[in-house]
Amino acid sequence: MTAAPELPVVDVEESRRVVEDYYARGWTDGLPVMPVSESILADFLAQTRRDPDEVLLDMPHLSRECTVRLAAINAAMAGCLPEYFPVVLAAWSALKAEGYVPRAIWQSTTGTASILLVNGPIRERIGLNSRSNVFGSGFRANATIGRAIRLTAINAFGLRPGELDQGTQGNPSKYSACIAENEEESPWTPFHVEHGFDPAASTVTAMTMRSVAHIEARHTQVPEQLALDLADTIARTGALIHETISACIALGPEHAALLAREGWTKDDLRRFVYEHAVNTRERLTAVGKDAVSGKTRWRLSSAHSEAVPDSDPDADVVKVLGSQAAAQIIVAGAHNAGVSAVIETFGPRGGPPAIAPVESAS
Amino acid sequence: MLERAGVPAVSICTDAFVVPARAMADVLGHPDFEFVTIPHPIASLSPAEIETAVRQVVDDVARILTTP
Protein backbone atom coordinates (compact mmCIF):
# COMPACT_ATOMS: atom_id res chain seq x y z
CA MET A 1 0.00 0.00 0.00
CA THR A 2 1.26 3.43 -0.95
CA ALA A 3 1.39 6.00 1.82
CA ALA A 4 -0.78 9.04 1.20
CA PRO A 5 1.38 12.02 0.25
CA GLU A 6 1.86 14.58 2.95
CA LEU A 7 -0.59 17.40 2.46
CA PRO A 8 0.83 20.88 2.09
CA VAL A 9 -0.17 23.23 4.89
CA VAL A 10 -1.79 26.25 3.30
CA ASP A 11 -4.80 28.40 3.86
CA VAL A 12 -7.00 27.09 1.07
CA GLU A 13 -9.50 29.89 1.38
CA GLU A 14 -6.69 32.41 0.99
CA SER A 15 -5.31 30.65 -2.10
CA ARG A 16 -8.80 30.60 -3.60
CA ARG A 17 -9.15 34.32 -2.92
CA VAL A 18 -5.97 34.90 -4.93
CA VAL A 19 -7.35 32.90 -7.85
CA GLU A 20 -10.67 34.74 -7.61
CA ASP A 21 -8.79 38.04 -7.70
CA TYR A 22 -7.22 37.02 -11.03
CA TYR A 23 -10.71 36.22 -12.29
CA ALA A 24 -11.99 39.59 -11.12
CA ARG A 25 -9.22 41.34 -13.04
CA GLY A 26 -10.10 39.42 -16.22
CA TRP A 27 -6.67 37.74 -16.40
CA THR A 28 -8.00 34.34 -17.42
CA ASP A 29 -9.29 32.23 -20.27
CA GLY A 30 -12.14 31.07 -18.02
CA LEU A 31 -10.11 28.45 -16.16
CA PRO A 32 -8.26 29.22 -12.93
CA VAL A 33 -4.76 30.62 -13.38
CA MET A 34 -1.69 30.05 -11.21
CA PRO A 35 -0.68 33.06 -9.09
CA VAL A 36 2.69 34.62 -9.92
CA SER A 37 5.16 36.45 -7.69
CA GLU A 38 8.39 38.28 -8.49
CA SER A 39 10.42 35.27 -7.32
CA ILE A 40 8.43 32.88 -9.50
CA LEU A 41 8.84 35.24 -12.45
CA ALA A 42 12.60 35.26 -11.79
CA ASP A 43 12.67 31.45 -12.04
CA PHE A 44 11.18 31.70 -15.53
CA LEU A 45 13.45 34.54 -16.65
CA ALA A 46 16.48 32.52 -15.45
CA GLN A 47 15.69 30.02 -18.23
CA THR A 48 16.81 32.43 -20.93
CA ARG A 49 19.64 34.83 -21.69
CA ARG A 50 17.24 37.19 -23.39
CA ASP A 51 16.52 40.62 -21.92
CA PRO A 52 13.16 40.70 -20.10
CA ASP A 53 12.27 43.84 -22.05
CA GLU A 54 13.02 42.30 -25.45
CA VAL A 55 9.96 42.46 -27.68
CA LEU A 56 8.98 39.02 -28.94
CA LEU A 57 6.05 40.05 -31.10
CA ASP A 58 4.17 43.28 -31.64
CA MET A 59 0.79 44.22 -33.02
CA PRO A 60 1.33 47.71 -34.38
CA HIS A 61 -2.37 48.27 -35.09
CA LEU A 62 -3.03 47.91 -31.33
CA SER A 63 0.18 49.65 -30.21
CA ARG A 64 0.78 46.62 -28.02
CA GLU A 65 3.66 44.20 -27.76
CA CYS A 66 4.66 41.01 -25.99
CA THR A 67 7.99 41.17 -24.16
CA VAL A 68 9.98 38.29 -22.68
CA ARG A 69 8.70 39.38 -19.24
CA LEU A 70 5.03 39.38 -20.29
CA ALA A 71 5.47 35.99 -21.95
CA ALA A 72 7.01 34.65 -18.72
CA ILE A 73 4.26 36.01 -16.48
CA ASN A 74 1.58 34.46 -18.65
CA ALA A 75 3.47 31.16 -18.94
CA ALA A 76 3.63 31.01 -15.14
CA MET A 77 -0.06 31.89 -14.89
CA ALA A 78 -0.86 29.18 -17.45
CA GLY A 79 0.70 26.58 -15.17
CA CYS A 80 4.00 26.07 -17.01
CA LEU A 81 7.06 24.93 -15.10
CA PRO A 82 10.06 27.24 -15.58
CA GLU A 83 11.83 24.64 -17.72
CA TYR A 84 9.01 24.88 -20.28
CA PHE A 85 9.77 28.56 -20.85
CA PRO A 86 12.40 28.08 -23.62
CA VAL A 87 9.68 26.26 -25.60
CA VAL A 88 7.27 29.15 -25.05
CA LEU A 89 9.93 31.60 -26.26
CA ALA A 90 10.55 29.48 -29.37
CA ALA A 91 6.80 29.44 -29.94
CA TRP A 92 6.73 33.24 -30.00
CA SER A 93 9.62 33.27 -32.49
CA ALA A 94 7.73 30.81 -34.68
CA LEU A 95 4.50 32.82 -34.41
CA LYS A 96 6.37 35.96 -35.46
CA ALA A 97 7.96 34.13 -38.40
CA GLU A 98 4.61 32.70 -39.46
CA GLY A 99 3.33 36.24 -39.85
CA TYR A 100 -0.42 35.94 -39.39
CA VAL A 101 -0.50 36.91 -35.71
CA PRO A 102 1.04 40.39 -36.08
CA ARG A 103 -1.50 40.93 -38.88
CA ALA A 104 -4.40 40.43 -36.46
CA ILE A 105 -5.51 36.90 -37.39
CA TRP A 106 -6.36 36.16 -33.73
CA GLN A 107 -8.97 38.92 -33.89
CA SER A 108 -10.66 37.63 -37.02
CA THR A 109 -14.21 36.29 -37.25
CA THR A 110 -12.71 33.06 -38.65
CA GLY A 111 -11.83 32.26 -35.05
CA THR A 112 -8.42 30.71 -35.62
CA ALA A 113 -5.88 29.87 -32.95
CA SER A 114 -2.24 28.86 -33.29
CA ILE A 115 -1.25 25.25 -32.91
CA LEU A 116 2.33 24.53 -31.87
CA LEU A 117 4.27 21.48 -33.02
CA VAL A 118 7.32 20.51 -30.96
CA ASN A 119 10.15 18.34 -32.28
CA GLY A 120 13.40 17.07 -30.85
CA PRO A 121 14.76 15.91 -27.48
CA ILE A 122 12.98 18.61 -25.45
CA ARG A 123 9.78 16.57 -25.88
CA GLU A 124 11.10 13.81 -23.64
CA ARG A 125 12.82 16.17 -21.21
CA ILE A 126 9.66 18.06 -20.29
CA GLY A 127 7.10 15.32 -20.86
CA LEU A 128 5.37 16.58 -23.99
CA ASN A 129 2.85 14.07 -25.29
CA SER A 130 3.10 12.91 -28.90
CA ARG A 131 1.06 9.74 -28.59
CA SER A 132 -2.35 8.78 -27.19
CA ASN A 133 -4.77 11.71 -27.05
CA VAL A 134 -2.21 14.01 -28.65
CA PHE A 135 -4.84 16.65 -29.49
CA GLY A 136 -6.58 16.07 -26.17
CA SER A 137 -6.05 16.72 -22.50
CA GLY A 138 -3.96 15.07 -19.81
CA PHE A 139 -0.41 16.34 -20.16
CA ARG A 140 0.86 19.35 -18.28
CA ALA A 141 3.52 20.43 -20.77
CA ASN A 142 1.17 20.32 -23.78
CA ALA A 143 -1.72 21.91 -21.91
CA THR A 144 0.20 24.75 -20.31
CA ILE A 145 2.57 25.69 -23.16
CA GLY A 146 -0.38 26.09 -25.50
CA ARG A 147 -2.31 27.95 -22.82
CA ALA A 148 0.64 30.29 -22.22
CA ILE A 149 0.16 31.64 -25.74
CA ARG A 150 -3.59 32.12 -25.28
CA LEU A 151 -3.28 33.86 -21.91
CA THR A 152 -0.72 36.22 -23.44
CA ALA A 153 -3.14 36.98 -26.26
CA ILE A 154 -5.75 37.85 -23.66
CA ASN A 155 -3.59 39.66 -21.11
CA ALA A 156 -0.78 41.29 -23.13
CA PHE A 157 -2.70 42.04 -26.33
CA GLY A 158 -6.14 42.44 -24.77
CA LEU A 159 -7.83 40.04 -27.19
CA ARG A 160 -10.98 39.35 -25.22
CA PRO A 161 -13.90 37.61 -26.92
CA GLY A 162 -16.54 39.94 -28.31
CA GLU A 163 -14.20 42.92 -27.97
CA LEU A 164 -10.88 42.80 -29.81
CA ASP A 165 -11.35 39.08 -30.51
CA GLN A 166 -14.24 38.93 -32.95
CA GLY A 167 -14.20 35.17 -33.55
CA THR A 168 -17.67 34.15 -34.69
CA GLN A 169 -17.40 30.73 -33.05
CA GLY A 170 -13.70 30.32 -32.28
CA ASN A 171 -12.57 26.73 -31.89
CA PRO A 172 -11.49 24.51 -28.98
CA SER A 173 -7.79 25.15 -29.68
CA LYS A 174 -8.34 28.67 -28.37
CA TYR A 175 -7.79 27.22 -24.89
CA SER A 176 -4.56 25.48 -25.75
CA ALA A 177 -3.00 23.74 -28.74
CA CYS A 178 0.45 22.22 -28.43
CA ILE A 179 1.39 18.81 -29.78
CA ALA A 180 4.65 16.93 -30.21
CA GLU A 181 5.57 14.83 -33.20
CA ASN A 182 5.74 11.08 -32.58
CA GLU A 183 9.22 10.84 -34.08
CA GLU A 184 9.87 7.46 -32.47
CA GLU A 185 6.97 5.78 -34.30
CA SER A 186 7.36 7.67 -37.56
CA PRO A 187 8.87 5.73 -40.46
CA TRP A 188 10.15 8.99 -41.90
CA THR A 189 12.46 11.88 -41.10
CA PRO A 190 11.14 14.08 -38.26
CA PHE A 191 9.44 17.30 -39.37
CA HIS A 192 12.23 19.61 -38.19
CA VAL A 193 14.92 17.49 -39.84
CA GLU A 194 12.95 17.50 -43.10
CA HIS A 195 13.21 21.29 -42.91
CA GLY A 196 16.93 21.47 -42.29
CA PHE A 197 17.37 21.18 -38.52
CA ASP A 198 19.73 18.77 -36.80
CA PRO A 199 17.97 15.74 -35.24
CA ALA A 200 19.48 16.76 -31.89
CA ALA A 201 17.91 20.22 -32.12
CA SER A 202 14.54 20.95 -30.56
CA THR A 203 12.13 23.19 -32.42
CA VAL A 204 8.68 24.71 -32.31
CA THR A 205 6.57 25.14 -35.43
CA ALA A 206 3.60 27.52 -35.39
CA MET A 207 0.54 27.07 -37.58
CA THR A 208 -2.63 29.15 -37.54
CA MET A 209 -5.41 26.59 -37.50
CA ARG A 210 -9.14 26.61 -38.08
CA SER A 211 -10.04 23.06 -37.09
CA VAL A 212 -8.85 19.49 -36.71
CA ALA A 213 -10.80 17.12 -38.94
CA HIS A 214 -10.83 13.47 -37.93
CA ILE A 215 -10.17 10.70 -40.47
CA GLU A 216 -11.39 7.13 -39.99
CA ALA A 217 -9.61 4.56 -42.17
CA ARG A 218 -9.24 1.35 -40.21
CA HIS A 219 -10.41 -0.78 -43.09
CA THR A 220 -7.58 -0.58 -45.57
CA GLN A 221 -3.99 -1.49 -46.31
CA VAL A 222 -4.04 0.24 -49.67
CA PRO A 223 -2.12 3.55 -49.69
CA GLU A 224 -4.30 5.08 -52.38
CA GLN A 225 -7.50 4.42 -50.44
CA LEU A 226 -6.12 6.09 -47.33
CA ALA A 227 -4.65 8.97 -49.31
CA LEU A 228 -8.00 9.56 -51.05
CA ASP A 229 -9.71 9.82 -47.67
CA LEU A 230 -7.14 12.44 -46.66
CA ALA A 231 -7.48 14.32 -49.96
CA ASP A 232 -11.28 14.29 -49.76
CA THR A 233 -11.17 15.80 -46.27
CA ILE A 234 -8.79 18.56 -47.37
CA ALA A 235 -10.98 19.34 -50.39
CA ARG A 236 -14.29 19.84 -48.57
CA THR A 237 -15.95 22.94 -50.00
CA GLY A 238 -16.86 24.32 -46.58
CA ALA A 239 -13.15 24.93 -45.96
CA LEU A 240 -12.82 27.15 -49.03
CA ILE A 241 -12.59 30.80 -48.13
CA HIS A 242 -9.59 31.82 -50.21
CA GLU A 243 -9.10 30.48 -53.72
CA THR A 244 -6.79 27.80 -52.35
CA ILE A 245 -6.19 26.51 -48.84
CA SER A 246 -3.53 24.68 -46.83
CA ALA A 247 -3.42 21.76 -44.45
CA CYS A 248 -1.18 19.82 -42.13
CA ILE A 249 -1.82 16.08 -42.33
CA ALA A 250 -1.27 14.52 -38.91
CA LEU A 251 -0.93 10.82 -39.65
CA GLY A 252 -1.46 8.31 -36.89
CA PRO A 253 1.57 5.99 -36.68
CA GLU A 254 -0.48 3.08 -38.09
CA HIS A 255 -1.32 5.06 -41.21
CA ALA A 256 2.25 6.31 -41.57
CA ALA A 257 3.49 2.72 -41.30
CA LEU A 258 0.93 1.56 -43.88
CA LEU A 259 2.18 4.12 -46.38
CA ALA A 260 5.88 3.49 -45.66
CA ARG A 261 5.42 -0.29 -45.92
CA GLU A 262 4.23 0.22 -49.48
CA GLY A 263 7.22 2.43 -50.23
CA TRP A 264 5.50 5.83 -49.98
CA THR A 265 7.61 8.78 -48.84
CA LYS A 266 6.18 12.01 -47.41
CA ASP A 267 6.71 13.57 -50.84
CA ASP A 268 4.76 10.74 -52.48
CA LEU A 269 1.82 11.42 -50.17
CA ARG A 270 2.12 15.17 -50.69
CA ARG A 271 2.11 14.73 -54.47
CA PHE A 272 -0.89 12.40 -54.37
CA VAL A 273 -2.88 14.69 -52.08
CA TYR A 274 -2.04 17.74 -54.20
CA GLU A 275 -3.34 15.95 -57.30
CA HIS A 276 -6.47 14.50 -55.66
CA ALA A 277 -7.64 17.23 -53.27
CA VAL A 278 -10.01 18.60 -55.87
CA ASN A 279 -13.57 19.69 -56.54
CA THR A 280 -15.41 19.46 -59.80
CA ARG A 281 -16.43 22.77 -61.35
CA GLU A 282 -20.00 21.55 -61.04
CA ARG A 283 -19.57 21.01 -57.29
CA LEU A 284 -18.08 24.48 -56.83
CA THR A 285 -20.98 25.97 -58.78
CA ALA A 286 -23.49 24.08 -56.63
CA VAL A 287 -22.10 25.73 -53.47
CA GLY A 288 -21.64 29.14 -55.09
CA LYS A 289 -17.83 29.10 -54.97
CA ASP A 290 -16.97 28.71 -58.65
CA ALA A 291 -15.21 32.08 -59.04
CA VAL A 292 -13.21 34.50 -56.89
CA SER A 293 -13.64 38.12 -55.89
CA GLY A 294 -11.58 40.49 -57.98
CA LYS A 295 -10.90 42.46 -54.80
CA THR A 296 -10.22 39.88 -52.09
CA ARG A 297 -9.65 36.69 -54.13
CA TRP A 298 -12.10 34.99 -51.78
CA ARG A 299 -14.28 32.39 -53.43
CA LEU A 300 -17.78 33.39 -54.48
CA SER A 301 -20.33 32.70 -57.18
CA SER A 302 -19.56 33.58 -60.79
CA ALA A 303 -22.91 35.42 -60.72
CA HIS A 304 -21.58 37.90 -58.11
CA SER A 305 -20.85 41.44 -59.29
CA GLU A 306 -17.26 41.22 -57.99
CA ALA A 307 -16.60 37.82 -59.55
CA VAL A 308 -13.61 37.15 -61.75
CA PRO A 309 -12.53 33.71 -62.96
CA ASP A 310 -10.29 31.69 -60.65
CA SER A 311 -6.74 30.76 -61.70
CA ASP A 312 -7.77 27.82 -63.85
CA PRO A 313 -11.25 28.65 -65.18
CA ASP A 314 -11.18 26.08 -67.98
CA ALA A 315 -10.48 23.18 -65.64
CA ASP A 316 -13.40 20.88 -64.90
CA VAL A 317 -11.54 19.65 -61.84
CA VAL A 318 -10.16 22.35 -59.54
CA LYS A 319 -7.33 21.78 -57.04
CA VAL A 320 -7.80 23.22 -53.55
CA LEU A 321 -4.06 23.33 -52.80
CA GLY A 322 -1.98 25.93 -54.64
CA SER A 323 1.18 23.83 -54.45
CA GLN A 324 2.45 20.56 -53.01
CA ALA A 325 4.10 22.54 -50.21
CA ALA A 326 0.66 23.73 -49.06
CA ALA A 327 0.29 20.29 -47.45
CA GLN A 328 2.60 19.58 -44.51
CA ILE A 329 2.89 16.07 -43.08
CA ILE A 330 3.58 15.01 -39.49
CA VAL A 331 3.12 11.85 -37.43
CA ALA A 332 1.21 12.09 -34.17
CA GLY A 333 -0.94 9.92 -31.94
CA ALA A 334 -0.86 6.36 -30.60
CA HIS A 335 0.03 3.31 -32.69
CA ASN A 336 -3.31 1.68 -31.97
CA ALA A 337 -5.82 2.38 -34.76
CA GLY A 338 -6.23 3.52 -38.35
CA VAL A 339 -6.98 7.09 -37.36
CA SER A 340 -5.44 10.32 -38.63
CA ALA A 341 -6.37 13.99 -38.77
CA VAL A 342 -6.17 16.96 -41.06
CA ILE A 343 -5.26 20.18 -39.29
CA GLU A 344 -6.98 22.81 -41.40
CA THR A 345 -4.46 25.64 -41.42
CA PHE A 346 -5.27 29.20 -42.40
CA GLY A 347 -4.22 30.75 -45.69
CA PRO A 348 -2.93 29.40 -49.00
CA ARG A 349 0.68 29.06 -47.75
CA GLY A 350 3.10 26.92 -49.70
CA GLY A 351 6.45 28.29 -48.51
CA PRO A 352 8.58 26.78 -45.76
CA PRO A 353 6.85 26.33 -42.40
CA ALA A 354 7.56 28.70 -39.49
CA ILE A 355 10.03 26.75 -37.33
CA ALA A 356 12.09 28.23 -34.48
CA PRO A 357 14.81 26.49 -32.47
CA VAL A 358 14.44 26.04 -28.71
CA GLU A 359 17.40 27.84 -27.14
CA SER A 360 18.86 26.79 -23.81
CA ALA A 361 19.95 29.31 -21.18
CA SER A 362 23.37 27.74 -20.71
CA MET B 1 -5.37 56.59 -40.32
CA LEU B 2 -6.66 58.56 -43.29
CA GLU B 3 -7.70 61.43 -41.05
CA ARG B 4 -4.24 61.52 -39.49
CA ALA B 5 -3.01 62.01 -43.06
CA GLY B 6 -5.43 64.92 -43.47
CA VAL B 7 -8.06 63.10 -45.51
CA PRO B 8 -11.63 63.33 -44.15
CA ALA B 9 -12.89 59.79 -43.54
CA VAL B 10 -15.74 57.95 -41.92
CA SER B 11 -15.81 54.36 -40.69
CA ILE B 12 -18.86 52.26 -41.45
CA CYS B 13 -19.41 48.92 -39.74
CA THR B 14 -22.34 46.61 -39.21
CA ASP B 15 -24.08 46.62 -35.87
CA ALA B 16 -22.44 43.27 -35.05
CA PHE B 17 -19.10 45.05 -34.74
CA VAL B 18 -20.02 47.98 -32.54
CA VAL B 19 -18.20 46.60 -29.49
CA PRO B 20 -14.93 45.75 -31.32
CA ALA B 21 -15.06 49.07 -33.18
CA ARG B 22 -15.46 50.96 -29.90
CA ALA B 23 -12.61 48.89 -28.39
CA MET B 24 -10.33 49.72 -31.34
CA ALA B 25 -11.17 53.42 -31.04
CA ASP B 26 -10.20 53.26 -27.35
CA VAL B 27 -6.95 51.45 -28.12
CA LEU B 28 -6.04 54.08 -30.71
CA GLY B 29 -6.73 56.91 -28.26
CA HIS B 30 -9.99 58.21 -29.71
CA PRO B 31 -12.72 57.02 -27.32
CA ASP B 32 -15.16 59.57 -28.79
CA PHE B 33 -14.52 58.48 -32.37
CA GLU B 34 -17.81 58.60 -34.25
CA PHE B 35 -18.65 55.86 -36.75
CA VAL B 36 -21.71 54.82 -38.70
CA THR B 37 -23.44 51.49 -38.30
CA ILE B 38 -25.61 49.56 -40.72
CA PRO B 39 -27.59 46.36 -40.07
CA HIS B 40 -25.71 43.06 -40.11
CA PRO B 41 -24.95 41.16 -42.36
CA ILE B 42 -23.65 42.68 -45.58
CA ALA B 43 -21.44 39.99 -47.14
CA SER B 44 -24.41 38.01 -48.45
CA LEU B 45 -26.58 40.96 -49.61
CA SER B 46 -27.54 41.72 -53.21
CA PRO B 47 -26.40 45.04 -54.74
CA ALA B 48 -29.96 46.41 -54.32
CA GLU B 49 -30.00 45.49 -50.63
CA ILE B 50 -26.58 47.11 -50.18
CA GLU B 51 -27.92 50.28 -51.77
CA THR B 52 -30.88 50.31 -49.38
CA ALA B 53 -28.54 49.95 -46.41
CA VAL B 54 -26.30 52.74 -47.69
CA ARG B 55 -29.20 55.12 -48.33
CA GLN B 56 -30.19 54.81 -44.67
CA VAL B 57 -26.83 56.14 -43.48
CA VAL B 58 -25.66 58.43 -46.26
CA ASP B 59 -26.77 61.58 -44.40
CA ASP B 60 -24.82 60.50 -41.31
CA VAL B 61 -21.76 59.82 -43.45
CA ALA B 62 -22.02 63.26 -45.03
CA ARG B 63 -22.48 64.93 -41.65
CA ILE B 64 -19.40 63.24 -40.11
CA LEU B 65 -17.30 63.98 -43.19
CA THR B 66 -18.14 67.68 -43.08
CA THR B 67 -17.91 68.15 -39.31
CA PRO B 68 -14.46 69.21 -38.13
Distance CA A146, CA A130 (A): 14
Question: Could you report the per-residue pLDDT of A266-285, keeping only the tens digit for each?
Answer: 999 999 999 999 999 999 99
Q: Provide the pairing of β-strand A327-331 with A246-251.
A: parallel
Q: Would you call A163 and B23 a contact, using CB atoms and an 8 Å cutoff? A: yes
Largest Cα–Cα separation, chain B: 36
Per the document, the length of chain A is 362
Does residue B5 carry a pLDDT above 90?
A: no
**Of all residues in chain B, what percent carry a pLDDT higher than 70?**
99
Residues 6+ apart with CB under 8 A from B63: none
Whether residue B28 lies within 8 A of chain A, CB to CB, comes out as yes
Residues 6+ apart with CB under 8 A from A94: A116, A204, A205, A206, A354, A355, A356
User: Which residues in chain A touch residue B28, judged by CB atoms under 8 angstroms apart?
Assistant: 63
Phi-psi region of A26 (alpha: psi -120 to 50; beta: other; left: phi over 0): left
Can you give the residue ranges of every domain in chain A? 13-277+320-356
Predicted model pTM: 0.94
Q: Would you call A163 and B20 a contact, using CB atoms and an 8 Å cutoff? A: yes
Q: Do A116 and A146 form a contact (C-beta atoms < 8 A)? A: yes
C-alpha torsion angle, residues A27, A29, A95, A266 (rounded to 10) = 160
* Helix, strand or coil, per DSSP, at residue A209: strand
Question: Could you report the per-residue pLDDT of A183-214, keeping only the tens digit for each?
Answer: 999 999 999 999 999 999 999 999 999 999 99
Question: Could you report the per-residue pLDDT of A112-166, keeping only the tens digit for each?
Answer: 999 999 999 999 999 999 999 999 999 999 999 999 999 999 999 999 999 999 9
Quick one: average pLDDT of A286-302?
95
Query: CA nearest A166 in B: which residue?
Result: B20
Does residue A362 carry a pLDDT above 80?
A: no
Distance CA B18, CA B25 (A): 10
